[in-house]
Structure 1
Amino acid sequence: MVLSAFTTDGKFFRGNLHTHSTLSDGCLEPAEVCRRYKAEGYDFISLTDHFIGQYGYPVADTRAFHDDAFTTIPGAELHSGAMQNGELWHILAVGLPHDFTPPHAPGFLPVDNQETGPDLARRAREAGAFVTIAHPHWSGLTLEDARSIDAAHAVEIYNHGCAVGCDREGGGHILDLLLSDGRDLTLIATDDAHFTEPDHFGGWVMVKAEANQPALLLEALKRGDFYSSQGPEIRNVSLTDDAVIVESSAAVAVIVQGHGQAATATHGTSMTRTQVSRARFAASPWMRVTVVDAAGRRAWTNPFRPST
């Protein structure tokens, strides 16, 4: 078995799927946000401003910033209804149509008689968006909350803004519990950049597509033909009966995680082809891989189910 992201036709394009501008609570104009990501070597971004009445329910039109080297996918961060902790839902929708019907979400606080977060996520997916449960740790998401979002494609495993702003970066715990429930989910690393602090250029996706075009990138995201990173490159992942074989840029650790307590790490120096034993995973219906470099930066494969 070989993961499709590393065998399908095309090339990898680097992108950030969670970004804000002055259309909501970011501090840079959309044109400047796009300019900075392009200058940093990104191939694409999705500008995902907060889709609430306070800001006029924006879905940024960034088509004027496309050129031969850089593109954008329309999107927004959706809000409606309360989670169990009483806070407003945050749901990332990449590929959201510009004419998506807004919920009744006047601001950042829940109000009576709102559309629920799960219902809003379903509408976004039905409208063609790639839907992600945003920053579960920062949000205070419970497992019951997470289970209610049945339309999600993905979970944010790393949110750079939450990492630098409040040390609540991750979604791995929620992701793994949902995977063990049998949910079919991928994972993304993002910036959640507002440019009000050093919250940018810290986490991204590497999407395998035949061209750097919004529709092709969006379809690849939905298929799971990507991996996520803070820096390391993952070049191939394959399985034998006994091992997971990972080809990558220089790594000091390659870790395979699975159901429950199943996890195995191989440590070394400048490893570029690493074998991790599958012995701990005989009863695990799913696995995923983390690659760690000497600076402590990580890259993550999407989860995979060896029996399928």
Structure 2
Amino acid sequence: MSFANQTALPAATPRFKGNLHCHTTNSDGHWTPQEAAERFREQGYDFLCLSDHDLYTDYSPQLDRSDFIILPGLEASAVLLDEGASGARLATHHMHGILGTDEMVEAAPERFSHMQELPPIECRGSWDGLAVAQELADTLSRHGCIVTYNHPIWSRVEPADVVGLTGAFGIEVFNYDTHNESGTGYDTVYWDLMLRRGQRISGIAADDNHNHGLFDDAFGGWIVVCAPKLTRNDIVRALLSGAYYSTSGPALDNWGVTDGTVWVECSPCERVNLVAGGYINAGATVIDEGGRGLTHAEFKLRGDETYLRVECVDAQGRTAWSNPLYAE
């Protein structure tokens, strides 16, 4: 196996900051759609997906501006309930359906309309978790949406309920809300299990903000997308191609492979990790020994890696995650 010489992020392409996971007063959030759009725009964001629970909304006609756009979407769900009288939630699948490109919408056999509900799939006692997840993903795809899988650790799903899912372009690897709510915001284990199986799937950092004031849950996880223009079509195409990185703080300026060596350029960080698929001990870490902050790191490949991704971690533990590159 080998990796061609390549630069992971398109050079000389505009970069746009966005949050794909935001709740409003249309479900269990405390900001109206208008307030959410205004506050994210004030914080330097270029796009926002309003992803209310089981309710598709499209506020783009009202809220789009030349410097800020809304991605229409919803957070759809399937839930496993206790078969007893309590009916407590044992596990849940939460997935985003984000409106795809004009071509995808035109080809879709079904379409959502603004303020359309999608009732959750409910199972009691037991379920075939992967089959239920696939049913939900297929439903969203059939409506012309691109699909993400959200916060599996918080959702109490087993790896077997997620690994093998098809039709999702991304999985949340960092969720700011669940991180501050209950320490369940990091999901890279599920991501790497999928990648090791050969699934090609990108990572996503997001807020999942509800803004109820109990703890900070806004402006802590985002993606930076490389796209020629700030339009839904261009942003969605970039998401599907993996032309973005995720972060809770550091900037990933670029990274790539040159003559069998992985190189990374980033804002000052305490460590840079190369995470790789392959045999045990694949991958490596460079640690800042001088206290000045790493802005460049290099890793010589062994030649048996199946995929590569990088993580840049600053002194506060905040992380930037690349999307994977795959061996030829």
TM, length-normalised to structure 2 = 0.83
Find 1:207's aligned residue among 222, 225, 233.
225
Instruction: Supply the AA of the counterpart residue of 1:2.
Output: Q
> 2: distance between equivalents of 1:104 and 1:22?
18
Instruction: For 1:1-308, list aligned pairs within 5 A.
Output: 1-7=5-11, 10-51=13-54, 57-82=55-80, 86-95=90-99, 98-99=112-113, 103-105=118-120, 110=123, 116-196=132-212, 197-259=215-277, 261-268=281-288, 269-279=292-302, 282-305=303-326, 307-308=327-328
Q: Which runs of 5+ in 2 are unaligned?
A: 83-88, 101-110
Distance 1:126 1:5, change over 3 A: farther
> 2: distance between equivalents of 1:205 and 1:10?
15
Instruction: Supply the AA of the counterpart residue of 2:69.
Output: T
- 247-256 vs 267-276, greater mean Cα deviation: 267-276
> 1: distance between equivalents of 2:19 and 2:118?
25
- 21-30 vs 61-70, greater mean Cα deviation: 61-70
> 2: distance between equivalents of 1:62 and 1:111?
37
Q: Which runs of 5+ in 1 are unaligned?
A: 52-56
- 11-20 vs 195-204, greater mean Cα deviation: 195-204
Residue 80 of structure 1 aligns to a residue in which SS?
strand
Instruction: Supply the AA of the counterpart residue of 2:284.
Output: T
Give runs of ≥4 in structure 1 deviating > 3 Å. 81-86, 100-104, 109-113
Shift of 1:19: 0.4
Residue 91 of structure 2 aligns to a residue in which SS?
coil
Identity level (%): 28
Residue 266 of structure 1 aligns to a residue in which SS?
strand
Q: Is contact 2:154–2:184 with CA below 8 Å preserved after alignment? A: yes
Shift of 1:133: 1.1
Instruction: Supply the AA of the counterpart residue of 1:77.
Output: E
Instruction: Supply the AA of the counterpart residue of 1:277.
Output: K
Distance 1:261 1:135, change over 3 A: farther
Shift of 1:110: 4.3
Distance 1:275 1:76, change over 3 A: same
Instruction: Supply the AA of the counterpart residue of 1:90.
Output: H
Coordinate RMSD, CA, aligned: 2.5
Q: Is contact 1:254–1:276 with CA below 8 Å preserved after alignment? A: no
Q: Is contact 1:133–1:155 with CA below 8 Å preserved after alignment? A: yes
- 66-75 vs 258-267, greater mean Cα deviation: 258-267
More strand by share: 2
Instruction: Supply the AA of the counterpart residue of 1:91.
Output: M
Count of aligned pairs between the two proteins = 297
> For residues 83-133 of structure 1, what are the alpha-carbon distances to aligned partners after superposition, in whole Å with 9 as ceiling and x for unaligned?
998423211222265439854428xx64699x9331120221243322111
Instruction: Supply the AA of the counterpart residue of 2:236.
Output: L
